[in-house]
Structure 1
Amino acid sequence: MKKTLIIALLICFSSKINAQKKVVAEGITSPTHQKYLNKIVFASEYDDVKKNSEIESNFKNEFDFTPDNKIFFRAYFDNSIYNYIRPLAKGDGAKDIKNYAIAFNFYIDNVLSNERQNSVYKSLEEDVKKTWTTFRGALKNNEKEVYVGEEKFEEFLAENTDLLSSGKHKIKVEMYPVLIDLYGEVITKFDVIASGEFTLDAKKFMLDSNNEELCLGKNVMNDNALIKKIATAHSSGDGFKITPNDVRIFSSSWITERNKYSGIIEGRSISVLVGYKDPKKNKCFKRYYTVYQDYISSKFSDVIKFKWNEAILPEKINCKCINL
């Protein structure tokens, strides 16, 4: 009986150890990796931070913030994302590699951006999370392909453009592994495993209202009468009653909506974005809507109705984006 109990305990203990067992990561990959261990380096060209072929002479610590400028990076760790966080992870979520991610902190002039703390990037392949100890990404890039870190830096800029006054600013980037839940919220986080700094010269920085990431986006349907009607409806609408400073229509034409069973026309809709200043908060926001008109008595109603996804909250923007 004792022997059976001991064996059972050993199996249980062994299973627990294996559940938390680390995988074999790639380790230090090059002398450059060793030199810049736990650091993030930056460059203007993608190939300058290519793994094991880095061109150190092209590493940069200052960038002009212009529409065409690019900022790539390479981060060097001493272990993999999975191995850092696995010993700390608890619960059923710790068993799923999908819940392991990398997170960013961004600073402007030594001030941590509260809105961008725990800015999580989870779209990494399983082998990247388990074995890679270095990878490259981008903070600013003009190509269609989106790199690790790019969207998070755009979100950071969008929410902090009011701090980018003309002149030079120190930007600090930190990276650290996290375990997230089904909603992307951080459950467990490790210490910072890599960080880097560079100077961003904003002397030529100007907000472009047509930039959807930083501001509003480009108006597609240039119908001034309709735009005015949407703005008026938003001002008196039930639930918001805020006068917009700017309205952008993203649809090129109205979309006819029909009853899915009878095929009878029920209405028509377009996608719009409204930019406004909230007088109570003294801050500016943008919000996406579907504008809808009912089809009544063989014609479309003049009444503007708004539909929106409750889960998509208004996004804070720089007040310079809208026509104040």
Structure 2
Amino acid sequence: MEAKNIDVSVVIPLLNEAESLPELVNWIAKVFTEEKINGEVYLIDDGSTDESWDVILDLKKKFDWVHGIQFLRNYGKSAALQVGFQEVKGDVIITMDADLQDSPDEIPGLRKMIIEDGYDLVSGWKEKRYDPITKTIPTKLFNAATRAVSGIHLNDFNCGLKAYKKDVVKIIEVYGEMHRYIPVIAKWNGFAKIGEKPVQHRARKYGTTKFGLERFVNGFLDLMSITFVSKFKKAPMHFFGLLGSISFLLGSAGAFWLLIEKVYLSMNHLHIQREVTDQPLFYLSLTAVIIGSQMFMTGFIAEMVSLNQSNRNDYHIKGKTD
């Protein structure tokens, strides 16, 4: 008998969420049943130190559509999502956090926007947030900066509740801490139809948040990184070569000016006791020429080195349910 196609795959990264997992998975099961969705859930244990993996094994016994993957150590949310994306079989992939702040009741609406409205990606927008001001203000600044750089008009890039076409998650690559910029990565990979859906944000019921203020600093650094890589990944010489050329030409112009000045003074018998090497312009010009040459060499080397290393997304998996 041929197996049914999977309608929806739910990918849930988690770290020390043993208390919330049973309630979350039972809630998802209720939605699957009520909406007649043939779904699956991937619980990615990102190096938990509590009983999360034991809870996942118990849930697997109760629901055959629950799949668990356990990392040997904590790799981060991007790693968990990437591994989950590699495993999923559904036509629509939905990601959510494991802390019960994302509501599984949003699954049917997100699925509809992908299947019926034809979006490549739909990002949740938590209009009313139950977060402290130390988190909401940096979030607003982060979202404003990402909108300005990417040209994608989303209110909440960092919302964990998102939906994707299967093609999107199978093509994009998420690594480091780039999960915040999945809409940006998707757009630069050709998936331009990106939508947004207001979603419910619930107060945390169990445990404490795993994120501190440092993630916003890292977020802005990641934005610079992904912008550079996305624009110059195929042709790094366009970046390094341009800057190198400008620096080299400025340095050469400075040296040429000193040479002309020296010749002019000699031809007019103006014996000014000033050596070329005594002038600050000489050292500035020399430095600019050296930097320009180095940037040129960096561009050539970068052209030869592949950014898509084969082992970028190799993670040590400690356990797997099936």
Q: Is the TM-score greater than 0.5?
A: no
Q: Flag the structure with more relative contact order, 1 or 2, with Cα contacts below 8 A and sequence separation at least 6.
A: 2
Give the TM-score taking structure 1 as reference length. 0.25
Higher strand share: 1
Flag the structure with larger Rg.
2
- The structure richer in helix per residue is 2
